[in-house]
Amino acid sequence: MSDTPQDQPVVDENHLIAERRAKLAKLREAGQAFPNDFRRDALADDLITLYGERETEWFESNAIAVKVSGRMLAKRVMGKASFAKIQDHSGQIQLFLQQTALADTYDAFKGWDVGDILAGEGTLFKTKTGELSVKVTTLRLLVKSLRPLPDKWHGLSDHETRYRQRYVDLIINADSRRVFSTRTRIIKYLRSFLDAMDFMEVETPMLQVIPGGATAKPFVTHHNALDMQMYLRIAPELYLKRLIVGGFERVYEINRSFRNEGLSTRHNPEFTMVELYQAYADFRELMDMVERLLHGLCDSILGTRNIEWEGQQLDLSQPFQRVTVEDMVVQYTPGIERDKLRDLQYLRGWCDKLNIPYKDNDGAGKLQIEIFEKTGEHRLVQPTFVYSYPAEVSPLARRNDVDPFITDRFEFFVCGRELANGFSELNDAEDQAERFHEQVSRKSDGDDEAMFYDADYVRALEYGMPPTAGLGIGIDRLVMLLTNSNSIRDVLLFPHMRPET
């Protein structure tokens, strides 16, 4: 009977580290510690792809010499012959080691530890069980690992440890490696998608004198040489639109932005998004673009448009639902009257009934959104565009030509989470200046997420910005969707956490 986790003895990790340090000391004395003259010529996954389906007999008449290296994840010593499993960045392959071939090195190998990084030269063959392996003729220890990897029973199951020690998580957790390789593929696809549409990738400042482009609380820092307060950007929007004014009619930036707000499974203070602007387009064209983009990502990355996220089965092959904010308020707030959705006192009564706090200067548009977020947002499971956001909560969006209470703006939701925000841009300099003044008034009343007045951006608009549509997509949440990850920390290599105590 094999041991169970409960049968395993308690191991003193400090003792194991001390033993490994002693082994390293002997290597140093012999001048064999940390060599850097080995160069491999093959990766595990490439070898398995090329030769994994070959019959055992084929290798007897075809000597395939290889040089491989990687971290030893398992070893099995059986007298005069042993096996070791090593892992490189592509995958794992087995080494077959014989005392007759390796002489003294074989005895040294017996004292090497799981976690050490090895290099082996030899020829490919298949074992009796049909596993592609390397019959090693030369073996070297390249790196002595001083800390033991988590044991085979418990792994690295504690989420906080996985996030803090991502390097260990990546060593032993194939799912984590898959998530982050998928993330890279998603970003590559985004670039190719936009490049094919003649968008130009640009870079804009992360350090800004005025944090703009979103309603959020910024991080504050100080520039010593200029002796001035500066902010980490909360969005690149206002700089990208300056480029539209300058004549670059299609621009995008895959950017890091920062918001000094709470931590949760959906929020990290530092996050990645793609933001793009297209002249001579409107918000409806951007909704079409988002739908095409999601279809392409599903086809390219997953090979299917039917996916699962947070226990929900999602069908991305169907046309995405498109509904207005007021539709959502009426649908998910039983008893509320559509013809009173812009009556401030009426909405305050509903906020009181729903235990939604509000401020004296909150208007009907703000309260509409508060009610929607409380009653409807979390119910939007299948892909849904919610549009016609009130102008009060959309200080950079163009007012609707027919109904100035609302703007030509949408947010895109899946499983109750916002993945994208887009709108027809406000290009009326005088209207923009007025809305900035309204934001400043809110800030003076204590709203630390309200926007600053950006005089230079208003000046840019005064030169004339063509009709434009803009879109921001949260890449972290997009990766969560396409990798079925429940927490944003699972898709960030190094999420922010409290210091270890």
Q: Cα–chain-centroid distance for residue 394? A: 26
Query: Residue 217, SS3?
Result: coil
Rounded to 5 degrees, what are φ and ψ at 463?
A: -75, -20
CA–CA separation, 208 and 78 (whole Å): 64
Rounded to 5 degrees, what are φ and ψ at 38?
A: -95, 135
Is the same domain home to 194 and 134? Answer: no
Predicted confidence at residue 444, as pLDDT, reads 84
Burial class (CB in 10 A: 0-12, 13-18, 19+), 57: exposed
Q: Domain tally for the chain?
A: 2
Rounded to 5 degrees, what are φ and ψ at 212?
A: -140, 175
- 2 within domain boundaries: no
Residue 333 pLDDT > 50, yes or no? yes
Is the same domain home to 139 and 190? Answer: no
Distances (CA, A) of 118 to 26, 38, 52, 114, 475: 17, 10, 22, 10, 37
Q: Are the beta carbons of 258 and 234 closer than 8 angstroms? A: yes
CA–CA separation, 247 and 200 (whole Å): 12
- 348 within domain boundaries: no
- 442 within domain boundaries: yes
CA–CA separation, 453 and 457 (whole Å): 9
Pairing of strands 468-474, 417-424: antiparallel
CA–CA separation, 253 and 240 (whole Å): 8
Is the same domain home to 137 and 235? Answer: no
Bridge partners of 182, per DSSP, are none
- Stated as kind and residue range, the H or E segment containing 384 is strand 384-387
Rounded to 5 degrees, what are φ and ψ at 225?
A: -65, -40
Q: How confident is the model at residue 8 (pLDDT cuts 50, 70, 90)?
A: very low
Is the same domain home to 117 and 224? Answer: no
Q: Is the pTM of this model over 0.75?
A: yes
Predicted confidence at residue 152, as pLDDT, reads 53
How is residue 425 annotated by DSSP? Answer: B
- 193 within domain boundaries: yes
Is the same domain home to 31 and 139? Answer: yes
Q: Are the beta carbons of 307 and 484 closer than 8 angstroms? A: yes
Q: Who contacts 96 (Cβ-Cβ below 8 Å, separation ≥6)?
A: 81, 82, 83, 122, 125, 127, 133, 134, 135, 136
b/e for 104-140, b at 16 or more Cβ within 10 A? Answer: eebebbeebbbbbbbbbbbebbbeeeeebbbbbeebb
Is the same domain home to 220 and 291? Answer: yes
- 482 within domain boundaries: yes
Bridge partners of 228, per DSSP, are 223
Domain end among 97, 118, 149: 149
Domain housing 225? 172-320+382-490
Strand segments, DSSP code E, in 91-243 are 92-98, 117-126, 132-143, 200-201, 207-208, 220-223, 228-232
Is the same domain home to 286 and 393? Answer: yes
152 vs 358, more confident = 358
- 283 within domain boundaries: yes
Residue 1 pLDDT > 50, yes or no? no
CATH number of residue 31's parent domain:
2.40.50.140
132 vs 151, more confident = 132
Q: How confident is the model at residue 391 (pLDDT cuts 50, 70, 90)?
A: very high
Encode pLDDT of 276-314 as tens digits.
999 999 999 999 999 999 999 999 999 999 999 989 999
Whole-angstrom distance between the N-terminal and C-terminal Cα of the chain? 40
Predicted confidence at residue 154, as pLDDT, reads 52
Encode pLDDT of 136-164 as tens digits.
999 999 999 999 998 754 555 678 888 99
Predicted confidence at residue 7, as pLDDT, reads 47
Give me the residue label for tokens 């947070």. Answer: 310
CATH number of residue 392's parent domain:
3.30.930.10
Is the same domain home to 143 and 243? Answer: no
- 164 within domain boundaries: no
Give me the residue label for tokens 């079409």. Answer: 288
Is the same domain home to 145 and 207? Answer: no
- Stated as kind and residue range, the H or E segment containing 287 is helix 283-297
Average pLDDT over residues 403-426: 97
Rg, Å, the chain Cα set: 29
CA–CA separation, 283 and 254 (whole Å): 20
Is the same domain home to 254 and 300? Answer: yes
Encode pLDDT of 446-492 as tens digits.
887 788 899 999 999 999 999 999 999 999 999 999 999 999 999 99
Burial class (CB in 10 A: 0-12, 13-18, 19+), 413: buried
- The single-letter code of the amino acid at 95 is L
Give me the residue label for tokens 């390293």. Answer: 24
- 343 within domain boundaries: no
Is the same domain home to 243 and 283? Answer: yes
Predicted confidence at residue 156, as pLDDT, reads 58
Rounded to 5 degrees, what are φ and ψ at 276?
A: -140, 155
Helices 364-375 and 344-353: crossing angle in degrees, nearest 10, is 30
Query: Residue 468, SS3?
Result: strand
Is the same domain home to 401 and 477? Answer: yes
